[in-house]
Chains A and B, each alone.
Chain A
Amino acid sequence: MNRRTPATLVSTGWGALVMAAVVALPLGFRDRLPGRLATHWSGSTPDGSSSFAVIVAVCCAMWAVAWVVLVATAAHGRVLGFRYGRMLWWGFLVGGGAFCVAMTYSLIAANMDRSNWQDARMVPWTLVLALAIAPLVGALAAYLGRGPKDVATPAEQNPPTLRTRPNQRSVWVGRLTNPWLVLASAGATAVLLAAALLAGLGVIAAPAWVLVVVAVATFVPGFLLSAVRVRVTPGGVRVGLGPLGWPSRTISLGRIEKAWAQEARPGQVGGWGLRGIPGRAALMLRAGDALVLGYRDGGRFLISVDDAERGAALINTLITDPR
C-alpha cells in the first residue's frame, strides 16, 4: 500500500506533463500548419484530414482516457501490490504517455510548413519515435517501477499434502466454466456474423469474407478459453481447454516442484484468458480459487479452477511418492 502514494504523485505529474505537451505542440506550431491537417495516409499520399480543433481534442482525449483508466486502477485495484502488475502499470503509464506525445508530434511534423493537407508527408523518424522509442521508454519504466519481489503466500511456503495408504490410487478432476465468457464470445461472434450477412447482401460496404474470418477468429479462442478441465493422475497433470477438454496439454510430475492453491484475480495476471509472460503463464477464467504449479526451473502456471486445494495436495503427494 505504501507504493500507492508515489504512484499517485508521479502519475498526476506525468499525466499533466503529457497533457501539456499534447496541447502545447499543436498550439506552438499553429502558424506553420495548414488550416486542415492530414491525419491518414494511404501509401505516401494523405487520404484523410481533420480540422485543427478536432485533432487537438482527439489527441487530448486519447491520453485522458488512458490516464484516467491507469489512475483508477492504481487507486482501486490491487495492481500495484504485486510485481507483474506494477511493471504493466508503470510501462503503460510512461510508455503510453510517450507514445501519445510522439504521435502528436509526428502528425505536426508531417503537416509542418505545407500549404494544404494534401501535400503532407510522414516524416519517418517521427514514426520511429512513436513505435520504437516510446515502447522502449515504457519498458524502462516497467523495469524501474518493478519494486520488490512478491512475497510467497502461506500456501506456497507450506504446500498441502494428503494422507495416503499403500495400494491406493488417487486422482483429482477439477473443472470450471465461466458462462459469462461463453456468452461474450458467442455474442461477439453473432454480431460479426450478422455484419457479414449484411455485407454479403450489400447493405453495408465491407468484404463479407473478412468479417467471417474475424468472426471465426473471435469464436475459437473465446470458446476454448471459456472452460477448463484439470486432471491429476500418477501420469501427470493434464490441462484441457474448452467445454470439450480439447486441446489439452499434459505436464509431467517430474517438471513440477510443488503445487498450491491461492486466490487469484484477473487483474493480477493481466486479464481473462491465457495470460502472462514466459515463466508466469496463467489460465484465468474468473476471480477466485486457482491451482498454481511451481516448476523446477522456477516458472509457474496458474489455472483458475474450483476445489484447487485438493488438487494441489494430490500433486504434492504424487511428486514425493509416485505410484
Chain B
Amino acid sequence: MLLTLDLNDPRPLHEQVAGAVRRAVGEGAYGPGDRLPSARELGGALGINANTVLRAFRELRDEGILEFRRGRGVSVAALPDGRALLVQRTHELLEEARRHGYGRDDLIDMLKELP
C-alpha cells in the first residue's frame, strides 16, 4: 500500500491518512476482501501514532470502504465510489491552487472556462 502525506496540508492528520488510504484503494492496489496492513504497521512506516491510523480506518469504515473483522484485521469492503475519489482529488487541487496563490473562486472560474 503506497501512502503519501503532504507535509504542508493543514487538515488534521487522520483525515490526510484516510485520504491516502482511500486513494490507494481507489487506485486498485487492494480489491474487495483484501486485507490491509495493520494500523501499527502503517503508523510505524509513516512515523505517526497507530491510533491516528485507526481513526482514519474508522472514518473509512463509516464510508463503507473498509470493514473490521475480528481476528482478520481490516479489509476492503467496497471500492470507493467515483464521487468520494473526485471529492478527494478536488481537495488536493484546491490545496495546490492555494500554494500558487489561487483561491476557490479562481478554481471555479478555471473550471467554467473548460469546454
Interface residues of A (CB under 8 A from B): 162, 164-165, 167-175, 229, 231-233, 245, 307, 310-311, 313-314
Name which of B1-9, B80-88, B104-112 contacts chain A.
B1-9
A231 CA to B7 CA, complexed, in Å: 20
- Are A310's CB and B41's CB within 8 A? no
Please give me the residue from chain A that is nearest to B40 by CB atom: A245
Does B46 reach chain A (CB closer than 8 Å)? yes
A214 CA to B22 CA, complexed, in Å: 46
Q: Indicate whether A314 sits within 8 Å of B2 (C-beta atoms), given known contacts A167-B7, A167-B8, A173-B37.
A: yes
Please, which residues of chain A bring their CB within 8 A of the CB of B44?
231
Please give me the residue from chain B that is nearest to A323 by CB atom: B7
Q: Give, as a whole number of angstroms, the nearest-CB distance from A308 to chain B.
A: 11
Does B114 reach chain A (CB closer than 8 Å)? no
Please, which residues of chain A bring their CB within 8 A of the CB of B30?
307
In the A-B complex, the 4 residue pairs with the smallest Cβ-Cβ separation, listed nearest first, are: A171-B45, A310-B2, A170-B4, A173-B37
Name the contact of B3 in the complex, choosing from A165, A170, A245 (C-beta under 8 A).
A170
Q: Give, as a whole number of angstroms, the nearest-CB distance from B56 to chain A.
A: 14
Name the contact of B41 in the complex, choosing from A170, A229, A307, A313 (C-beta under 8 A).
A229
A–B complex contacts, Cβ < 8 Å, 28 sampled = A165-B6, A167-B6, A167-B8, A168-B4, A168-B5, A169-B7, A170-B3, A170-B5, A171-B3, A172-B3, A172-B45, A174-B1, A174-B37, A175-B35, A175-B37, A175-B41, A229-B37, A229-B41, A231-B41, A231-B44, A233-B47, A245-B41, A307-B1, A307-B29, A307-B30, A310-B2, A313-B2, A314-B2
Contact bitstring B2-33, A, C-beta under 8 A = 1, else 0 = 11111110000000000000000000011000
A307 CA to B27 CA, complexed, in Å: 11
A245 CA to B42 CA, complexed, in Å: 13
Q: Give, as a whole number of angstroms, the nearest-CB distance from A166 to chain B.
A: 9
- Are A173's CB and B7's CB within 8 A? no
Interface residues of B (CB under 8 A from A): 1-8, 29-30, 35, 37, 41-42, 44-47
Please, which residues of chain A bring their CB within 8 A of the CB of B5?
168-170
Q: Give, as a whole number of angstroms, the nearest-CB distance from B43 to chain A.
A: 10
Q: Indicate whether A169 sits within 8 Å of B4 (C-beta atoms), given known contacts A229-B41, A231-B44.
A: yes
Name the contact of B45 in the complex, choosing from A165, A168, A231 (C-beta under 8 A).
A231
Q: Give, as a whole number of angstroms, the nearest-CB distance from A305 to chain B.
A: 11
Please give me the residue from chain B that is nearest to A311 by CB atom: B2
Q: Indicate whether A170 sits within 8 Å of B7 (C-beta atoms), given known contacts A231-B41, A233-B45, A307-B29.
A: no
Q: Give, as a whole number of angstroms, the nearest-CB distance from B76 to chain A.
A: 12
Extra contacts, 18 of them, besides A164-B4, A175-B41, A231-B41 (Cβ < 8 A), are A162-B2, A167-B6, A167-B7, A167-B8, A168-B6, A170-B4, A170-B5, A171-B46, A173-B1, A173-B41, A173-B42, A174-B1, A231-B44, A233-B47, A307-B1, A310-B1, A310-B2, A310-B29
A311 CA to B41 CA, complexed, in Å: 15
A62 CA to B45 CA, complexed, in Å: 51
Please, which residues of chain B bring their CB within 8 A of the CB of A311?
2
Please give me the residue from chain B that is nearest to A229 by CB atom: B41
Q: Give, as a whole number of angstroms, the nearest-CB distance from A289 to chain B.
A: 11
Please, which residues of chain B bring their CB within 8 A of the CB of A174?
1, 37
A307 CA to B25 CA, complexed, in Å: 11
Please give me the residue from chain A that is nearest to B5 by CB atom: A169
A233 CA to B48 CA, complexed, in Å: 13
- Are B2's CB and A172's CB within 8 A? yes
Please give me the residue from chain A that is nearest to B6 by CB atom: A168
Please, which residues of chain A bring their CB within 8 A of the CB of B7?
167-169
Q: Indicate whether A170 sits within 8 Å of B6 (C-beta atoms), given known contacts A229-B41, A245-B41, A310-B29.
A: no
